[in-house]
Copies of this chain bind each other. A is one copy, B any other.
Amino acid sequence: MKSFTFVPDSISNDHKKKRSMGSMNEVARRAGVSIATVSRVLNNSQSVNEETRLRILKAIRELKYQPSRVAKRLRSKSGSSNLLGVLVPDIRNPFYVDVLMGIEEVAYRNNYAIIMCNFGQDEKKEAMYLDILESEAIDGLIAAPATEYDQRLKKIVKNGLPVVCVDRGLKDSEVDLVWVNNEAGAYAAVDHLIRNGYKRIAHIGGLPSIPSSVLREIGYRSALTDHQIDFNPELVRLGDSTYESGVRLASELLKLQNPPDALFTGNNLITLGALETIHSLKLKIPEDIAIIGFDDMSWANSLNPALTAVRQPAFEIGKRAGELLIQRISDPKRPCIQMTMNAELMVRSSC
């Protein structure tokens, strides 16, 4: 007696076969035309008879056909491959998350997908991601390079890939750049501290290899100078832009014989790290120690007291960068643009 075995579709061993929903070929066959014509209606590139056009659209609908972006990308080397790369140093930093959101909005509207590369300020990792991105034939790239002298990225730019930098530029390279006026932002913060009577203002900076770190320190120094406060090297600590560096350097500073009365922190994560230290030392903000951070956070009001911070319009930066990139993809010869946005001091209660 024969036993009948039922093998449902989802279990039969077709797993190594293609999963794709039919090709243009099937659409063409069903509509009784050639694939060339199908391609034409899909990109409405050339005139095709209205009647056959409708027939093809019908076939597409019936077969739920979706063109393969992969094949398209392989075929038309440049331009409409509908894939962008985004290269950021640290997705844990809420600033980059917001930038990413801005990029994503533009990308989504323009039917672009995004390959996300988070290189953690590790140049080897960055290089490998750039290899991957090139090999993926992306249409364009938005990057916050590890340094201004990033050779690998510069070569990519020279090779003609549309690139827009955010937050950090690329020395001697023709790239669009969207960033804020770091120096002015830092100046505003420190100026505000001084005007509120603080005298011993410390600065916890980020990696010196990152341009914005340097510029923010310059802004810090300018403000001191303009108010005739001597620059005190003891009060400046440079770390590696991480949360942990904020914890550690704030601790060093606050345990000084003659500790600072105010802190200007160089980025988001440093600020949070410094706050941890301040609270663990049971210091009162702003009575014992005032603090202003570079980079605002959407939940700055959830901190206690609410954090005074230099706000970078992160979402806007991402959006602009996305727009610039899409422009450049369609017009690679357009001259480069450098957009410097305003960094705004959001005065709350920590100073």
Contacts and interface: CB of A to CB of B under 8 A. Distances in A.
A83 B332 CA distance: 28
Contacts of A299: 243, 272-273, 275-276
B18 A69 contact: no
Interface in A14-31: 14-21
Interface in A267-294: 272-273, 275-276, 279-280
Nearest to A274: B302
Contacts of A86: 116
Contacts of A78: 15-19
A140 to B, nearest CB: 11
Contact of A303 (B111, B115, B117, B303): B303
Nearest to A285: B304
B108 A125 contact: yes
A263 to B, nearest CB: 13
Nearest to A159: B19
A37 to B, nearest CB: 21
A91 B114 CA distance: 14
A9 interface: yes
A38 interface: no
A89 B160 CA distance: 35
Identical copies in the complex: 2
A113 B97 contact: no
Given A92-B97, A100-B91, A101-B118, A135 B276 contact: no
Nearest to A301: B276
A134 interface: yes
A91 B86 CA distance: 15
Contacts of A188: none
A52 to B, nearest CB: 24
Interface string A47-67: 000000000000000000011
A266 to B, nearest CB: 16
A113 B91 contact: no
Contact of A69 (B71, B125, B136): B136
Going nearest first, the 5 A-B pairs with the smallest beta carbon separation are A18-B77, A275-B302, A116-B116, A304-B304, A15-B332
14 contacts: A15-B332, A69-B132, A69-B137, A70-B73, A70-B74, A70-B135, A70-B137, A92-B101, A108-B125, A243-B299, A272-B302, A273-B299, A280-B301, A304-B304
Interface of A: 9-10, 13-21, 66-71, 73-74, 77-79, 83, 86, 91-92, 94, 97-98, 100-101, 104, 108, 111, 113-118, 125, 128-129, 131-137, 158-161, 174, 243, 272-273, 275-276, 279-280, 298-299, 301-306, 332-333
